[in-house]
A and B are shown apart, each in its own frame.
Chain A
Amino acid sequence: MKVLVPVKRVIDYNVKARVKPDQTGVDLANVKMSMNPFCEIAVEEAVRLREKGVATEIVAVSIGPAQASETLRTALAMGADRAILVQTTEDLEPLAVAKVLAAIIGRESPDLVVMGKQAIDGDNNAVGQMLATLLDWPQATFASAIEVAGGKAKVTREVDGGLQTLEIDLPGIVTADLRLNEPRYASLPNIMKAKKKELAIEELAALGVDTAPRLKVVKVTEPAKRAGGVKVETAADLVAKLKTEAGVL
């Protein structure tokens, strides 16, 4: 079974995003970039499926600038077999990303796509659902467990207030939630091996997909800062202040 895992290069999880003074966006110059954490979980899940003997080939795909090949090397070091970079300097919207992935999937014909539920830059949480729609494949989002057998995937999903289990016919799309697994660190030998794995680069324009933006970013601003308050000395002071000053008890 072939598994395709889309991955995105984003600002590192531990770095605070800073808005540019001219309000055109977030300053990404000289900022540490990493694989989106949910994409890492997706790669890990694909590797585990191969370790269980379910998956036979894992293809990692990224859409982005030349530096996104570093993100793909990380995926290869974690255990993906080969990688495809669709190179562009444009910042694509989720619908455009889904269309590009649909084009790649049309050519690669994977049995399963495992991907992160959202990227921590745009915070849209939309590409997986859009991709499933465009391909007319079933979807199981926000997965916390995946079992694949007999051409089906049984997926436990994190929903408000509990867990839901769905069974989808493959090929299908699964999006990863936080608790699906804990991604491994790539070992040094695997990082070395990853350098020799195939990483194909193609230009976005060559795919002939309409990626024109639908939204115009008017401005990007910093949210209003919350003023820090006071320190209290004891729990009794705290309760007194909550009762009389804040009036919330």
Chain B
Amino acid sequence: MAVLVIADHDNAHLRDTTEKTVTAALQLSGDVDLLVAGQDCKAVAAAAAKITGVRKVLLAESAELGEGLAESMEALVVPLMANYDAVLTPATSQGKNFSPRIAARLDVAQISEIVEVIDAATFVRPIYAGNALETVHSSDAKKVITVRPTVFKAAADGGSASVETIAAPAKPAKTHFVDQKLVKSARPELSGAKIVVSGGRAMGSAEEFQKVIEPLADKLGAAVGASRAAVDAGYAPNDYQVGQTGKVVAPELYIAIGISGAIQHLAGMKDSKVIVAINKDADAPIFQVADYGLVADYKSAVPDLMAALTAAGV
């Protein structure tokens, strides 16, 4: 069987979610091609061609593909599916936006956010905010799958696939791009960061969140996350949100500050390698998943932690 992986990128750089999805794809079949769709993204295609195990890179460029319009992505991918038995997309906000369209057009189910490949037709995926794992067997002729990238190891570089340019579809008639405002940040991106420092409702205000969480994150070279409670209260922007309704992260080190550990938050971070919790409530559920718990008020604990990090030469 042949498998198509749709690359995740920002038109300049390939994101490691792509390499992770390639790893999942290689568990279905050895014949894996990669599609790079965007605008002015030849550098991305060149990087994609280096991923070990990739047979061929397909490159399609147009303004709408660069803007990530779901209708354009669908129109590009559906005809290609004549040559493939499965298409795998990283379950990012972009992938989640267009992948179900491909499934609907092909009249097949989408198998969403898989975390394990059992065989080429059987997959494991989390449901109920990760409180249950569902093993499903697909009887559809073509499989349309999104992959939760954090659980798969990135495929290594070392390949030298060819890059083949293919035509981009016509502009969608009824959807028009207006603009895009991306937050420019010197910090690493939340989903791929090695260390994440997250704040919860205990911060009490956006000013306090910035004053407490951000300097600690910057000291550690970490990305900043937040609980849904903190986002709902307006202390942090929505794209900081870690959890079932936000981003799923699995960094080397996750530091939860003033986060009680609601089910929906745990769903987004429990696969982290090491979890640290700082909370003044010793009974907070976050301590049940934390490798290291510090029962203390963040107001004193975070400055102490900053000082201890400095003393330890971090």
Residues in A lying within 8 Å of B, measured CB to CB = 11, 13, 16-19, 26, 37-38, 93-95, 98, 118, 120-134, 137-142, 144, 154, 158-169, 172, 177-179, 182, 213-223, 226, 228-236, 238-243, 246, 248-249
* Interchain residue pairs A-B with the least CB separation, the first 6: A235-B304, A229-B291, A17-B128, A162-B182, A126-B100, A129-B100
For B274, the chain A residues whose CB sits under 8 A away are 242, 246, 248
Question: CB-CB < 8 A to A235: which residues of B?
Answer: 294, 296, 301, 304-305, 307-308
Are A220 and B127 in touch, CB under 8 angstroms? yes
With known contacts A178-B228, A220-B132, A223-B126, A160–B140 Cβ distance under 8 A:
no
Report which of B94, B139, B177, B301 forms a contact with A160, defined as CB distance below 8 A. B94
- Can you name 8 extra interface pairs (CB under 8 A) apart from A125-B100, A229-B291? A19-B132, A95-B104, A122-B112, A159-B93, A235-B308, A236-B304, A239-B312, A248-B252
Q: Are B175 and A129 closer than 8 Å at their CB atoms?
A: no
Beta-carbon nearest neighbor of B254 in chain A: A248
Q: Are A220 and B288 in touch, CB under 8 angstroms?
A: no
Among the 9-residue stretches B25-33, B53-61, B156-164, B239-247, the one with 4 or more Cβ atoms under 8 Å from chain A is B239-247
Contacts of A169 in B (CB 8 A): 173-175
* Contact count A vs B, C-beta below 8 Å: 269
| Interchain CB contact under 8 A, A138 and B93 | no
Q: Are B309 and A239 in contact (CB under 8 A)?
A: yes
Across-interface contacts of A179 in B (CB, < 8 A): 231, 238
With both beta carbons as reference points, the residue of chain A lying nearest to B303 in the complex is identified as: A235
Which residue from B178, B179, B293 sits with its C-beta under 8 Å from A232? B293
Contact A162-B131, Cβ < 8 Å, known A216-B139, A235-B301: no
Chain A minimum-CB-distance residue to B302: A235
Q: Which chain B positions have C-beta within 8 A of A140?
A: 175
Query: Which chain A positions have C-beta within 8 A of B288?
Result: 226, 228
Dominant SS at the B interface?
Answer: mixed
Contact B74 A124 (CB under 8 A): no
A172 to B135, CA, bound (A): 34
Tell me which of B110, B140, B174 contacts A94 (CB under 8 A): B110
Q: Is the CB of A215 within 8 A of B182?
A: no
Number of chain B interface residues as a range = 35 or more
- Whether B175 lies near A138 (C-beta < 8 A) is yes
Given A130-B104, A133-B105, A246-B291; A214-B176 close (CB under 8 Å): no
Q: A177-B238, A179-B238, A235-B304 are in contact. Are A248 and B180 (CB under 8 A)?
A: no
Do B178 and A165 touch (CB < 8 A)? yes
Which residues does chain A contribute within 8 Å of B287, judged by CB atoms?
228, 231
The answer to whether B111 touches A215 (Cβ under 8 A) is: yes
Chain A nearest CB, measured from B263 CB (Å): 6
Given A138-B174, A235-B304, are A223 and B239 also a contact pair (CB < 8 Å)?
Answer: no
Q: Look across to chain B and name the residue whose beta carbon is closest to the beta carbon of A236.
A: B308
Q: List 27 A-B contacts (CB under 8 A).
A: A11-B128, A26-B127, A123-B126, A123-B128, A124-B112, A128-B100, A129-B101, A134-B104, A139-B70, A141-B70, A158-B239, A159-B180, A162-B180, A162-B182, A165-B179, A166-B69, A167-B176, A167-B178, A169-B174, A178-B246, A215-B109, A217-B135, A218-B122, A228-B288, A229-B292, A242-B274, A246-B253
Smallest Cβ-Cβ distance to B134: which chain A residue: A220
Q: Is the Cβ of A226 less than 8 Å from the Cβ of B289?
A: yes
Known contacts: A138-B172, A139-B70, A158-B239. The answer to whether A223 contacts B133 by CB under 8 A is yes
